[in-house]
Amino acid sequence: MESNGSASRRRVRKLRCSVMNYDWGRIGTESGVARLFSLNSRVDIEGGKPYAEFWMGTHESGPSFVVEKSENNGVVIGEEEEITAGGLSLKSWIAKNPSVLGDKVVEKWGANLPFLFKVLSVAKALSIQAHPDKQLAGTLHKLRPDVFKDDNHKPEMALALTDFEALCGFISLEELKTVVRNVPEVAEVVGNLYANQVLDVNNQDGEEKVKAVLQLIFTQLMSASKDVIAKALSKLKSRLHMASQVRQLTDKEQLVLQLEKQYPADIGVLAAFLFNYVKLNPGEALYLGANELHAYLRGECIECMATSDNVVRAGLTPKDRDVHVLCSMLTYKQGFPEILQGVPLNPYTRRYLPPFDEFEVDRCILPQGASAVFPAAPGASIFVVMEGAGTMHTTSYEGIIREGDVLFAPADTDVKVTTSSNLHIYRAGVNSRFFEAS
């Protein structure tokens, strides 16, 4: 029989989570992140403030805290919550109770949650960026711990809540040749020598040769002086304005003009021609491995990643840039990225399985009067209620859940959710393929 202390450790816990007010976030009540944070923490939304990211997990940059609860015969009612300014961080609580993660998780990653769960509200483009692999992250953290906060890699996945747009990875070689021919400003900035190398190389030359040429032209472009960039963008704007009088601009051309308004005289505007322009519908997901270049543009999404906050930036940002590091670390993989549609688990739930051990995400959209079961997993899970209200049932917990609630479920916890209204709930957990493989 399980002791009272052990049973208490095994029950579901509500969390109070952190918000990030980066300047690219949506403003005030327009931000889904703002509404979520306000409901979760009972803090009023500030009207003119950007609300960019809502963090759920154990990273020190945006920690979550365990909410104290009153109990009734060991069952948490869920209504009598005490939200305090301090409290025990989820990381500290897990360190004291590592068994809640599951044995295989502790064996692989130690007494820390291996994933970080987020909600993003994007009003304008994030920086052109990539996240270092494990080896590079360790080196950068040692050299510049003030900038690179941890030594972990950061593969990630974005699951669209609304229509969502991003730049992701490099376009194909044929598309790149079209850019060099048809966007004279790019050819002018990189110079004829590099432009001609792109036009002369072919896929028959081999993948490594093509990658080397792509790296050369991208590095040359990103290393251009501010004066050269400013002149090129001025020419680009004039040319596209004239073109718009006689034809419909392409989606990419319209995008670069929008980016130029957000980040005037920024090389990232010109560089956007080299990247895939991805548009996700709600319920579609995009995953990004280490050292893969991307920039989120607009919309709201659920995001999950390995527990890290390492970012190397090189454009579309007022922040510090590491052009040399970024250009040297990228995979230079070309072609349109895979879009995940999710695998149906039941009529209401789809699972998104990226090729990373650290995480998977379930999306559950319950209509009025429906119920869904999340079977016990060998690792811990975090649930976030994005819309509506319902009841969560486990062997040691029965409580009302509603929009803004975030809950930590220990390993081996069967969770059932019922609802009398529409309910949107998302779950992050360790990738189930990790347990199958091990």
Q: What is the dihedral of CA 317, 32, 153, 207, to 10 degrees?
A: -70
DSSP 283: T
Other residues' Cβ atoms within 10 Å of the Cβ of residue 29: 13
Which alpha helices (DSSP H) does 201-250 contain, by range?
207-222, 226-244
207 φ, ψ (degrees, to nearest 5): -60, -40
Which residue of the set 10, 313, 321, 350 is catalytic? 313
Helix then strand then coil, in percent of the chain rounded to 5, is 35, 30, 35
3-state secondary structure of 298: strand
**And the tokens for 116?**
């970080």
- Number of helices (H) and strands (E) in the chain: give both, helices first: 14, 26
DSSP 63: -
- Answer yes or no: is 129 a known binding residue: yes
Is 313 assigned a catalytic role? Answer: yes
- Answer yes or no: is 241 a known binding residue: no
Q: What CA–CA distance (Å, rounded) separates 120 from 159?
A: 10
Contact yes or no for 198/190 (Cβ under 8 A): no
- Answer yes or no: is 131 a known binding residue: yes
3-state secondary structure of 125: coil
| Residues whose CB falls within 8 Å of the CB of residue 153, separated by 6 or more in sequence, listed in order | 131, 132, 133, 134, 137, 290, 306, 308, 310
The helix or strand, by DSSP H or E, that contains position 329, with its residue range, turns out to be: helix 323-329
DSSP-assigned letters across all residues of 347-409: TTEEEE--S-TT-EEEEEEEPTT-EEEE---SS-EEEEEEEEEEEEEETTEEEEEETT-EEEE
Q: Give the chain's end-to-end CA distance (angstroms, integer).
A: 28
**And the tokens for 206?**
């081999």
- Answer yes or no: is 60 a known binding residue: no
Q: Please say whether the dihedral angle defined by the alpha carbons of residues 434, 404, 27 and 367, taken in this order, is positive or negative.
A: positive
Q: What is the dihedral of CA 171, 22, 150, 294, to 10 degrees?
A: 0
Contact yes or no for 198/176 (Cβ under 8 A): yes
Q: Binding site residues for Zn(2+), as ranges? A: 129, 131, 156, 294
Q: Binding site residues, as ranges? A: 129, 131, 156, 294
Which residues are designated catalytic?
Answer: 313
